[in-house]
Every structure is written in C-alpha cells, then in structure tokens.
Amino acid sequence: MKLTIFAATGGIGRLLVAQALDAGHEVTAVARRPEAVAPSPGRVVAADLATADPAALVPAVAGADAVLSALGGRSRRDTDVATRGTDAVVTAMRTAGVHRIVVVSAAPIGTVASPARPHPPRRDPGDGPLMRYVLGPAVRAALGGHYADLARMEDLLRASTLDWTIVRPPRLTDGPLTAAYRTAYGRNLRRGASVSRPDVAHYMLRCLDDPTSERQTVGIAR
C-alpha cells in the first residue's frame, strides 16, 4: 500500500513510519524537519503544517492509497495547528483524488464544543464516574485550547467527502507494542485510562483494511 504520513517525526508519527515500513508499505513522510525522519522511508517531503499551502502538499499525497496524520500542537500555545494543517491536507487530497485518511484526536473530544457541534453530549457513554466527574473536567480545563483545536479538526473531516477515521486515545504512554488494545466506535472505553503510542500507530495502520472504520470515531485503550 502507498501511504503518506504527516507529522512523521512526532511521538506517533515516527512509529507510523517504522511500522509501515516493517509491514512492507511504500511510505512518503511529511515533516517540518525532514532530516529528523528516522527510519528514512526514502521519500521525505518538507512542510510546516501550521503554514502549509495546500498546493504544495499535492505532490506528497498524489497516488497515495491512504493518508495518516498524527498532527497536533507541540505546546499549549499551538491552538490551531491541527485545524490549519488538516484543512491543508484535506484540500490537497481532494485535488489529488485521494479519499482515505486516518487521524489522531483525543478521548475527551466527544464532549468538547466546536462550531459544528456547539452543544456536544455532556458525557461520553464509555466514561466511568472518575473520568466523567474528576479526570475529564480537569484535563479539559488544562488543555482547553488544544482540545478545541482537535474538535475543529474533527469538524473539518466530518464535513468532507473523505473516508476518514478519527482515533481518540486517552493518556498516551511510551509502553511497548502489545496489539492487545480495545477499540469501540463512537465512544471511549470503560476503565481505559491509557494506551501506548505504538499501539495507537498499530491500530491506525490496521484500520486501513477495515472498511467498517470509515467515517467513524474510534475509542482505543488498554
């Protein structure tokens, strides 16, 4: 499969590149610092997704069977990079005639307001009492700008004609690849407080072969 991976030097992006190459996929990596992409897939495109011109991204996605994005803010001050970058990627995909995209979001986003969802559910059906009443509100208060950015990113994908999958992990860890994670469509996972970055990358690649994951938000957790 021909894959284009955005944010290829990030915590999940670099794992996507490594796992995709190990699986025999043909990879184009897109990163702000192309020299930092490792392992090198052979084709690396330099682009800063915070300011990217969609036309400049067309060569990176042209001919791809799917696009994977681990784009997100590098700090709490980056409160629009996911929205801007994903908008540019979606526009480039539309121009190039590419339809499949898988992106990383976050577990709390189902309850975060956005322009297209000004009145989201107050609780995710998969969240237990601790997450609903203690951890969830505390995390949303601390990362409000970052989560608002991800919520707008999700709006963009839902409004598009692409075959998207939005993966919503809870707290990310640097644990090992286990492939023993749980997933659920449209909700978080009960007692699912964390998941490793390698497992998230594994699912993002695995779902490319699962048409039932298209146009779905997917909760993932150990």
> What pTM was estimated for this model as a whole?
0.93
Cβ–Cβ under 8 Å, residues 20 and 42 = no
Of residues 142 and 25, the one with the higher pLDDT is 25
What is the rounded CA–CA span in Å between residue 169 and residue 108? 9
The pLDDT value recorded for residue 5 is 98
Average pLDDT over residues 38-43: 90
The pLDDT value recorded for residue 78 is 63
Cβ–Cβ under 8 Å, residues 93 and 67 = yes
Looking at the domain that runs over 2-221, which CATH code has it been given? 3.40.50.720
pLDDT band of residue 113 (cuts 50, 70, 90) is very high
| Closest among 117, 52, 65 to 91, alpha carbons compared | 52
Residue ranges of domains in the chain: 2-221
The pLDDT value recorded for residue 220 is 98
pLDDT in tens, 97-112: 999 999 999 999 999 9
pLDDT band of residue 86 (cuts 50, 70, 90) is very high
Q: Please state, rounded to an integer, the average pLDDT across all residues of the chain.
A: 92
The pLDDT value recorded for residue 67 is 98
pLDDT in tens, 129-175: 666 665 566 565 555 688 999 999 999 999 999 999 999 999 999 99
| C-alpha to C-alpha distances, 50 to 6, 8, 37, 112, nearest whole angstrom | 12, 14, 18, 22
